[in-house]
Chain A
């Protein structure tokens, strides 16, 4: 178990990591996400003491990293860097067994371990062991980079944007592999990325960092469904692609929240005025507590309305209506089947939350297809 306790770090007086607290369970795959410069790498590297912390403490299984010899500490924490960093003067086998060599394993044991590890990623020992990194593809190199981190079977692996330099297809298969290895070997992984898709795919828990702080730490589904902060929502909006609408989106994800409402005491004329102002032909009626009462349409006012009369009498309560937690596809179906202009979204307490219109659908589809909000 890893425990960050009020960890802080400053550079030249300006804090870049601010009192971070985070507990990571054994076997957990934690992904640190956030915009560039928010302190992810710093947070990661303080764990294996590549960067010294200024305040607070980090405990691994109850023991402070500060009390451990940094070299021994690092040998027991796997580390994979973005630029791969395989040593070009060493063969694949020598690269994989660098840490065992530091730990004075004998040659036989090192060789055996190299074989085992290469089997894990389906790389043939006899074909690749004596090759040099420059003879491998990028994806193969980073596989070896991962094996190097796994060599002495450390319980914890740190990975700083390990796949960001790879092409999308290679990246995808390495993501699958790392996830499989992590499960199979029951490793605790702390993984840095600023690719939200990668985070969603890999994480048991996403830790969203912003400006040196943790804004939210939650499983991917939860973060998608209820981001704790507008910043996260915006970041995800920019980065989340290919969400499968049926599975992941509900009405509150796609509804419009800025809508024209009116209270039941307002007079019909005011109502018409509002409609023309907003260029709509109906308004949602809510009371002072935002409780949803129904809608009022221009047709009803025209056909049944009297000047100076409150709209209360004209409220329609049969407008299509869904709950915030309902699947987005329900709203879509209603829109299509009833040929309605919009569906009203209400909270479980019957408060007005927003509306889903046809343009909400096209927006959601666009973002699903092209990742644009």
Chain B
């Protein structure tokens, strides 16, 4: 098969795969991050929760993706929802961990000042803790995005499309070109989404925090994160 022919055969399929892949990543990162943020907030408000939820989640985290999707598959079948549940669950942990430690490590002086100003616990959260934790939260989301781009490859395992299809088929037929056709867009996607997030972070991080980080650069910032 000439390269020209090869491209003609697969171009449309590839485009479709990229969109499916991207769709899974974006959707699952969004769902996972939302759940993670809610959990992180609950964990910091009700410390009892963290004793329950953290171990549970870190166990989930250690189950290999293939096993997890395999088990889920037994219950939810060969449907996109299976992939989405699995990927969303995986998306939770990095965001949760970063958001949780980000909120937890907001300098005590700000929490004390907030309390002294008569803020309730929730007001402190929204006016002070969450804004100050944004850099940390973004670190988590960024990690999740990178992970998920590669984990979404697993979707193809149960026939749910994405760039994994090329990779699996390439491995199966020993065709390196197919493997590359899956892997290169995935890599580009990871880099592209990362860059996009950086832009978004610049937009969303309160200016005062960025200024503070600049003036503190060089010193360790004491922020959460991994």
* Contacts from A to B (Cβ < 8 Å): 48, 50, 71-76, 79, 81, 83-91, 98-99, 102, 132-135, 148
Contacts and interface: CB of A to CB of B under 8 A. Distances in A.
B109 A87 contact: no
Interface string B110-144: 10111111111001000110011000000000000
Given A74-B116, A132-B208, 6 more contacts: A83-B109, A85-B110, A87-B127, A132-B212, A133-B212, A134-B211
Contacts of B212: 88, 132-134
Contacts of B128: 87, 89
A278 to B, nearest CB: 57
6 contacts: A74-B116, A81-B109, A81-B112, A88-B132, A90-B127, A132-B212
B206 A48 contact: no
B124 to A, nearest CB: 10
Given A132-B207, A132-B211, A87 B118 contact: no
B117 A134 contact: no
Contacts of A135: 211
B42 interface: no
B185 to A, nearest CB: 38
A85 B112 contact: yes
Nearest to B134: A89
A71 B116 contact: no
A99 B123 CA distance: 11
B209 interface: yes
B209 A89 contact: yes
A50 B117 CA distance: 11
A81 B109 CA distance: 8
A50 B112 contact: yes
Contacts, number: 76
A50 B116 contact: yes
B215 interface: yes
A145 to B, nearest CB: 8
Contacts of B112: 50, 81, 85
Top 5 A-B pairs, shortest CB-CB distance: A85-B113, A75-B118, A79-B116, A132-B208, A89-B206
A75 B117 contact: yes
Given A81-B109, A81-B112, A85-B110, A90 B117 contact: no
Contacts of B206: 88-90
Contacts of B211: 88, 132, 134-135
Contact of A71 (B118, B208, B209): B118
Contact of B118 (A72, A88, A134): A72
A81 B112 CA distance: 8
B117 A74 contact: yes
Nearest to A90: B208
Contact of A50 (B115, B132, B209, B214): B115
Interface string B184-221: 00000000000000000000001111011011000000
A91 B206 CA distance: 10
Interface string B93-121: 00000000000000001101111111110
Given A81-B109, A85-B112, A133 B208 contact: yes
Interface in B49-91: none
A81 B113 contact: yes
A74 to B, nearest CB: 4
A45 to B, nearest CB: 9
Nearest to A152: B118
A81 B211 CA distance: 22
Nearest to A69: B118
B115 A102 contact: no
A5 to B, nearest CB: 23
Given A87-B128, A91-B208, A134 B109 contact: no
B136 to A, nearest CB: 13
Nearest to A85: B113
B133 to A, nearest CB: 10
A140 to B, nearest CB: 14
Contacts of B209: 88-89
